[in-house]
Structure 1
Amino acid sequence: MINKVFVSHATADVALAKLVVNFLKEAIGVPDANIFCSSLPGHSIPLMEDFNEHIRNQIEQPAIVIALLTPSYLESHFCLMELGAAWSRAHKTLAVVTSTVSFDAVTRTLGLKQAWRIDDHTKLFEFKRAFKDLELESRSSATWEGKAAEWRKRLPTVLRGLPSAKLVEKVKLDTAVAEAEELKRTFHEEGRTAKMQIARLEEDNAALQQKLANKEEGRPRVLIVEPEKLIALDLRQMLERARYDVVGVATTKQDAMIAALIEKPDIVLTETELEDGSSGIDLVNALYPLMDCFAIFVTAYPERLLKEGRPQPVDLVTKPFSPDEVLTKVLGATQFVLQRRTRTEP
């Protein structure tokens, strides 16, 4: 009867192999001479023997092959060859896996054979029964219980000392690459957003600096109140080219009131009918008691000034208008404001 037990393991896992071999001998009763384990003195390859040939002979007809499937084992080509030899010869093979190895590894290598997760102590007695057909040395129940307790105590320390996998599974690698790409996209988006925010802040800062410069130069300040965006843009560009300080553009009476109270314009260019149906005439009537400014109505509805009552002082530009006409009216309004302020200064 062949009684050999072949312990297939990775060299890096010698501590685990030693624990298993000692348990086989001391707890189960497998004779010392019947255990082959290439990493352990007394169970390995004799001096002067050819390594490959001796391993090949040992795995020809063992009674049982114990394969310690760890990350290091699955990364070793030699270990996988041993496992393949055991499978091809239909040997009785017990796959022992650690918690870091999936049971899928057993299915991929040995098929649908039941494996033992080595830290599942409820299966320890089944592990013992796997050797019942071998010629074993007698061990008492007390010895078994003591050695089983010692096994449960020492195993966690040995498992913690095993090296981790050096190779990364493709699924994990693909996941890591995808996460890295997502982080890269996120950082790119955040960077682009930050650049846009910085650009806006720089624009705002430049605008503030320009306002301060305009104020120091004493340039006339103009508020445009116009519901048509293109007309408002045309007026703004025209005035800025003429070196007027356009302090804001509004489309409703409410927005214009807020802008005027904040910016204190010298001149207000306004339409009579505003975007939300509010009145430019009402706007001017509300502003005159609050600040020293001059209103110019740039309007397609001049008749409303007669109908609703024309505030004083004001001027009028009828749409469609020419740039020279607007600039002439604005220049006149500027001179009027400056003269009035001169007369009122102490």
Structure 2
Amino acid sequence: MSKVFVSHATVDVALAKLLVNFLKEAIGVPDKDIFCTSLPGHSIPLMEDFNEYIRKQIEQPAIVLALLTPSYLESHFCLMELGAAWSKATKTLAVVTPKVSFDVVTKTLGLKQAWRIDDHTKLSEFRGAFEGMTLETRSTETWEGKADEWKKRLRAVLRGLPSPKLVSKHDLDVALSEIEMIKRASTAEAERLSDLHRELEEENVALRKRLADKEAGLPRALIVEPERLVALDLQQLLTRARYDVIGVAKTKQEAIIMAFAERPEIIVTEIELADGSSGIDLVNALYPHLDCFAIFVTAYPEKLLIANRPEPIELITKPFSPDHLLEKVAGARKLLIERRALAKPQEVH
């Protein structure tokens, strides 16, 4: 009966071989005392029943070394070996590899101390686990040399261990959480792009309408109003009355830029604008350069009683009647047409 039972997954043969060689060469465990199914000379003899032979070997070994790797934990046969060692209260040392949590030891063997295989500070303690067995003599120099060799070779062997085929519940939960986050982000991005597409479509429709209005020769109007809802009412009112609203501005600067770019005929403006600028100053700045007519729709009519009041203008106080506004706009348009007719040179007969 073997004294050291190396329980391992078949795919982890490289690690099992490294450990068995360390047992023999560094600690002095005799060949005949080591059972390891993957290594010739330590495995199951020819013509023996596989299951029966392993069952006998694990009956009363001096120690079971369980190489806990990801592949070991996925092997039903390996877990059976571990369960047999636990049920017989066999002296068992869990040799834990870096990709395995120490929690696994608690769940399988109970509150037993385990050895993290790459913790080289525990090598001497690992050697002491075999005291009481008949060992071949090894000098201190041999032990130290083999220990150094173990440290160098172990790193490469651990890198070559197969990755687990099964996913832990924790990893699965993390992956599902990440997928859910990606889905939510994708949905949000899709909604954002949909909103952007809708806005672009609306803008495109508005631009096509502007082009059609321009080609139809509709009278052009600029709205200068700091209050969004009031500006929207004015825009809808003028649009329904067949005016080409070339833009809506909130400040004097915005209005000047739009006016010089689009050259409106009618300017519907408040006196006090969004940034503290003045609709009066705006009209005084535009009149010398544009053939246009200003209509003040304002809550501050008294501010027109000043020396620099522009002329000609129309005044409508807020709140206003839509019909009254349209009447004033139509009148301003008529005055513009008449003014242009008078300014046009008469033909000589």
Shorter-chain TM-score range: 0.7 to 0.9
Mapped partners of 1:201, 1:117: distance in 2: 62
Distance in 2 (CA, whole Å) between partners of 1:272 and 1:187 is 47
User: Partners of 1:300 and 1:7 in 2: how far apart?
Assistant: 95
1:177 maps to 2:170: no
| Conserved? CA contact 1:3–1:134, under 8 Å | no
Deviations 1:32-60 (A, max 9, x none): 12211122222222222222221111111
Please give the secondary structure, in 2, of the residue aligned with 1:6. strand
User: Equivalences for 1:244-255 in 2 at 5 Å?
Assistant: 244-250=243-249
Partner of 1:38: 37
Deviation at 1:74, TM superposition (A): 1.2
In the alignment, does 2:65 pair up with 1:66? yes
Residues 139-150 of structure 1 mapped to structure 2, 5 A cutoff: 139-150=138-149
Please say which of residues 23-32 and 252-261 is displaced more in the overlay: 252-261
Residue 196 (structure 1) shift: 2.1
After TM superposition, list the pairs within 5 Å mapping 1:76-225 onto structure 2: 76-225=75-224
CA distance in 2, matches of 1:294, 1:34: 111
Native 8 Å contact 1:298 1:317 kept in 2: yes
Q: What's the CA shift string for 1:111-152, capped at 9, x where partnerless?
A: 222222222223222222211211122333343333333323
Shift of 1:321: 5.9
RMSD, matched Cα? 3.1
Does the 8 A contact of 2:2 with 2:35 survive in 1?
A: no
Question: For residues 192 and 332 of structure 2, what CA distance do their matches in structure 1 show?
Answer: 44
Change (3 A) 1:279 1:92: closer
What is the CA distance between 1:61 and its match in structure 2? Answer: 0.6
Amino acid corresponding to residue 97 of structure 2 in structure 1: T
Is contact 2:224-2:255 (8 Å) kept?
yes
Determine helix, strand or coil for the equivalent of 2:179: helix
8 Å CA contact 2:96–2:116 kept in 1: the answer is yes
Moved more, 60-69 or 202-211: 202-211
Q: Residue 289 in 1 paired to residue 288 in 2?
A: yes
CA distance in 2, matches of 1:267, 1:41: 101
> Displacement of 1:160 after TM fit?
1.8
Q: Displacement of 1:256 after TM fit?
A: 4.6
Letter in 1 for 2:194: K
CA distance in 1, matches of 2:240, 2:143: 101
State the Cα deviation string for residues 1-33 of structure 1 (Å, max 9, x = none). Answer: x76111111111111111212222222222212
Structure 1 residues 340, 94: closer, same or farther in 2, change over 3 A? Answer: same
- Asked if the contact 2:36/2:42 (under 8 Å) is kept, the reply is yes
TM-score, scaled relative to structure 2: 0.84
| C-alpha distance after superposition, 1:77-108 (max 9, x if no partner) | 21111111111211111111111112222222
Aligned residue number for residue 5 of structure 1? 4
Identity of aligned residues (%): 69
In the superposition, relative to structure 1, how do residues 166 and 334 fare at CA in structure 2: closer, same or farther (>3 Å)? same
Task: Give the whole-Å Cα distance in 2 for the aligned partners of 1:139 and 1:146.
Answer: 11
How is 1:240-319 mapped onto 2 (pairs within 5 angstroms)?
240-250=239-249, 256-257=255-256, 259-270=258-269, 283-298=282-297, 307-308=305-306, 311-315=310-314
State the SS of the aligned residue for 1:197: helix
* 3-state secondary structure, aligned to 1:327: helix
Aligned partners of 1:295 and 1:314 also within 8 Å: yes
The more displaced of 158-167 and 273-282 is: 273-282
- Asked if 2 retains the 8 angstrom alpha-carbon contact of 1:296 and 1:316, the reply is yes
Q: CA deviation at 1:178?
A: 0.9
- Provide the secondary structure at the position in 2 that maps to 1:94: strand
